Amino acid sequence: MKKLGLMGNRTTHEIVLNMLIAAVSLFINGFGVYLTIQANIGAGPWDVLNLGLAKTLGILYGTASIAVSYAILGIDIALKEPIGIAMFIDALVVGKAVDFFNSIQAVKKCDSIASGIPVMILGLIIMAYTQYTYMSASLGCGPRDTLLVALAKRAKRVPIGLVSIALLGTATLIGWLLGGPVGIGTLICAFATGPIMQMAFKTVHFDATHVHHQHLGESAKVFMHKKAA
């Protein structure tokens, strides 16, 4: 299995460098998210929620994204799921990266489905590869992924795929009711994200199931004692 980050996170130096890898990866991931929005054919399920919340409250996308991410992170903690440093970085960086690319008008909104679909797919590919570099830091998965796993563990007889559909469907419905953009792009994100990510991971020989993510408590011990046992 290929892994980009420094193995082990056994020292403060390794953790800090992997935090940097995670932050840079998530910033570029934000550009991928930005492209899926600029495709203008309907946003991904979680972005329907973020954009709907931003529209309703009159706030920036990034502010809405951070609010949703930290709310989910709070649920993860309440469900006693393992939390890592990178989860906090994820909650903060991606949304504000989208705001940054919006502020500099990096890419104009597409004006047709024909132009929007390729931009949407490109965004998903960027998100897939940056997911690999982010996960390689081994400092925790995203709040939403952690919530999905938490719900799947509690709905023991329900396949995780159905749990994912229910979770994404709920986010989409709430976002749509708040005025978020739903369209063919929403379906593309919902059904193409997984296969594109699998393809990306295969090209770099990366198996996400073999990554041991360091929990927040473990990271704290390294910072306090300088080196992990």
- Taking the CA atoms of 127, 128, 132 and 133 in sequence, report the sign of the dihedral they define: negative
pTM metric for this prediction? 0.90
Query: Which structural domain, as residue segments, surrounds residue 162?
Result: 12-223
Mean pLDDT for 17-27 is 95
The predicted structure's pLDDT at residue 4: 52
Domain-embedded: residue 5: no
Mean pLDDT for 58-79 is 95
Domain-embedded: residue 114: yes
3-state secondary structure of 204: coil
Domain-embedded: residue 6: no
| Alpha-carbon distance values, 182 to 51, 179, 189, 191, 200 (Å) | 10, 9, 11, 14, 26
Residue 227: pLDDT band by 50, 70, 90 thresholds? low
CB atoms within 10 A of CB 70: 15
The secondary structure of 118-159, three-state, reads HHHHHHHHHHHHHHHHHHHCCCCCCHHHHHHHHHHHHCCCCC
Answer yes or no: is pLDDT of 140 > 70.
Answer: yes
CA torsion, points 72, 78, 82, 85, in degrees to nearest 10?
50
Domain-embedded: residue 126: yes
* Residues 110, 41 contacting (CB under 8 angstroms): yes
Domain-embedded: residue 157: yes
DSSP string, 152-192: HHHSTTS-HHHHHHHHHHHHHHHHHHTT---SHHHHHHHHH
What is the C-alpha separation between 35 and 121, in angstroms, rounded?
9
Mean pLDDT for 193-202 is 90
Domain-embedded: residue 140: yes
Q: How many domains does the chain have?
A: 1
Least confident segment among 2-6, 45-49, 123-127: 2-6
What is the C-alpha separation between 6 and 18, in angstroms, rounded?
7
Domain-embedded: residue 229: no
Domain-embedded: residue 201: yes
The predicted structure's pLDDT at residue 1: 45
- Taking the CA atoms of 189, 191, 197 and 203 in sequence, report the sign of the dihedral they define: negative
